[in-house]
Amino acid sequence: MKRRFLVFLLFLPAFVASAAERLSCPDPAAAVQVGNCPGEAELRYSFNGFCSDNRRIYQDDAALCVDYADYRKAKNVAQWESADGTFTAYLSCDSVAARLSTVRGARMTVSRQGQISRVACDYGEGIVFTHRTRLNCRVEGDGNCPDDQQRCIARCE
């Protein structure tokens, strides 16, 4: 019994150190698409199914169903990941890959919903990479880093 306790004490500092995270905004040019873009037939099929639900009309949840173009704009997205897989984003399938290499400005924010912290890096133009964790996170500094993403740092403990 004493031996197990001593082994536990030996590895405790490593466990505590690994529980803290230091996150910086990823380089969007190095992001990788990990999800598929839906095809036009799939978008039309889901539009018809989603918007034909009568409950949606009576609960004022039909904003996307007014026009197919609005629905397509909202739903024609694919999942992307940062190069290290820490941050994810759902980005438009309409010409987003070309824009990722040109965006530079970033703003980091942290929000909390229940027990989950959401660290978000906003590059403008609807490009937001997020990281979710159960750790408590806070942004170091003011969160503005338009010239250098490495200055956007969050510490999660």
Give yes or no for residue 7 having a pLDDT over 90.
no
**Is residue 88 over pLDDT 90?**
yes
As a whole number of angstroms, the distance between CA 136 and CA 147 comes to 27
Quick: pLDDT tens for 97-134: 778 888 877 899 999 999 999 999 998 888 999 999 99
Query: Are the C-beta atoms of residues 125 and 103 closer than 8 Å to each other?
Result: yes
The CA-based diameter of the chain, rounded to the nearest angstrom, is 69
> Average of pLDDT values for 30-58?
86
